[in-house]
Structure 1
Amino acid sequence: MICSRCGLCCINLDILVIKTRSIRPDGTLDPGDPESMIRKPAGERCPHLAFAGEVAICAIHDLPCYRGTPCDLFDQFGPEDGICILGSYFKSSGSAEL
């Protein structure tokens, strides 16, 4: 899936995200920390979401701790190189509040 960088999934999905305070200076997490993941409710902005104009940017996307998280593993049905359609869904359903 090719992300359209709209940020709508980072706001509208109910998902577990990495707790910011659990990220070590080297970008990893303590594997023994049972509280390194927190629930991000639907409709609440992810703490790692930022915008450069209208382009959504994940502050931890390139850190080692991001690998294997629910966000990293998120995908959609369709071709691997297909453009994400989730943003369009949120816009059409009225959930596109940024």
Structure 2
Amino acid sequence: GDAADALDARLAKANPRAVVLSLTPYGRWGPRASWEATELTEYATSGYHFFGGDPAREPLALPGHQVGFHVGSHAAVGALAALWHVRLGGEGQRIEMSHQEAILNDHT
């Protein structure tokens, strides 16, 4: 919270056109903000195991780094949109995105 907000203010003052992307497992605020996270817990709390998991078994990890793929693609699109906004003459942007949001977005 406070340290990140202070850094944001310093960056905005130093470069008003800066694009800052903040990625956290469950967001900077809210009931899950302080939760520890692994790929397995992030997938389980997003509901993905509902689609492919076996209720009689423990949650199983998917191959590769699926959370990273989801989060990375959403973060890239958000950052590129913000950079395009700046290029068109807009102000810098602060992008807050949680891993949970990226994974849940892929459900819809």
The TM-score, its normalising length taken from structure 2, stands at 0.24
Q: Name the one with the larger helix percent.
A: 2
Q: Name the one with the larger strand percent.
A: 1
The TM-score, its normalising length taken from structure 1, stands at 0.26
Structure with larger Rg: 2
